[in-house]
Chain A
Amino acid sequence: MNSQSKPCPYEEAVTAAARSGFWSPELSAHRDSCLTCAEFTLVLAALAADAEELAAIDAPLPDPAPIWLRARLASRERDYHRATRAIVWVQRAAVGVVFGIGVAFAPGLWEKLSGAFSGLSFSFSAPDLPRAAGSPLLVLVVSILVLGGLALWELTAAQEN
Chain B
Amino acid sequence: MDEAAFRHLYDRTARPLRAYLMRSCGDLALADDLLQETYLRMLRSGFEGEDDNHRKNYLYRIATNLLRDHFRRLKPESNEVPERDESPGHDEAVHLRSDVGGAMAELAPRDRQMLWLAYVEGASHQEIAKALGLRTASIRSMLFRARQRLAKQLQARGLRPALEVS
Majority secondary structure, B binding face: helix
Distance A53 CA – B22 CA, assembled complex (angstroms): 11
A residues contacting B by CB (< 8 A) are 5, 7, 15, 18, 21, 31, 38-51, 53-55, 57, 59, 61-62, 64, 66-68, 70-71, 74-75
**Which residues in A have their C-beta under 8 angstroms from that of B36?**
62, 66-67
Distance A153 CA – B128 CA, assembled complex (angstroms): 53
**Which residues in A have their C-beta under 8 angstroms from that of B164?**
41-42, 45-46, 49
Q: Could you tell me the distance in whole angstroms from the C-beta of A86 to the nearest C-beta in chain B? A: 21
Contact A74 B147 (CB under 8 A): no
Q: Which of B39, B104, B155, B166 contacts A50 (CB 8 A)?
A: B104
Distance A84 CA – B160 CA, assembled complex (angstroms): 65
Q: Could you tell me the distance in whole angstroms from the C-beta of B40 to the nearest C-beta in chain A? A: 5
A and B contact pairs by CB, cutoff 8 A, 15 listed: A39-B151, A41-B165, A42-B155, A43-B151, A45-B165, A47-B120, A50-B23, A51-B23, A51-B116, A54-B18, A64-B7, A67-B39, A68-B3, A71-B44, A74-B40
Type the 1/0 row for B118-151, where 1 means its CB is closer than 8 Å to any CB of A.
0110000000000000000000100010011011
B residues contacting A by CB (< 8 A) are 3, 6-7, 10, 14-16, 18-19, 22-23, 28, 32, 35-36, 39-40, 43-44, 93, 96-97, 99-101, 103-104, 115-116, 119-120, 140, 144, 147-148, 150-151, 154-155, 159-161, 164-166
**Which residues in A have their C-beta under 8 angstroms from that of B44?**
71, 74-75
Distance A39 CA – B15 CA, assembled complex (angstroms): 28
Known pairs A50-B100, A55-B16; A42 contacts B159 (CB<8 A): yes
Distance A67 CA – B40 CA, assembled complex (angstroms): 6
Contact A42 B28 (CB under 8 A): no
Q: Could you tell me the distance in whole angstroms from the C-beta of B105 to the nearest C-beta in chain A? A: 12
Contact B22 A54 (CB under 8 A): yes
Distance A113 CA – B4 CA, assembled complex (angstroms): 67
Contact A42 B16 (CB under 8 A): no
For A71, give the chain B residue with the smallest CB separation: B43
**Which residues in B have their C-beta under 8 angstroms from that of A7?**
140, 144
Distance A68 CA – B3 CA, assembled complex (angstroms): 7
Contact B166 A21 (CB under 8 A): yes
**Which residues in B have their C-beta under 8 angstroms from that of A59?**
28, 32
Distance A5 CA – B147 CA, assembled complex (angstroms): 10
Contact B97 A50 (CB under 8 A): yes
**Which residues in B have their C-beta under 8 angstroms from that of A70?**
40
**Which residues in B have their C-beta under 8 angstroms from that of A67?**
10, 36, 39-40, 43
Q: Which of A15, A18, A48, A68 contacts B43 (CB 8 A)?
A: A68
**Which residues in A have their C-beta under 8 angstroms from that of B101?**
50
**Which residues in A have their C-beta under 8 angstroms from that of B147?**
39-40, 43
Distance A39 CA – B164 CA, assembled complex (angstroms): 11
**Which residues in B have their C-beta under 8 angstroms from that of A62?**
14, 32, 35-36
Q: Which of B100, B151, B161, B164 has the most CB of A within 10 A?
A: B161
For A54, give the chain B residue with the smallest CB separation: B19
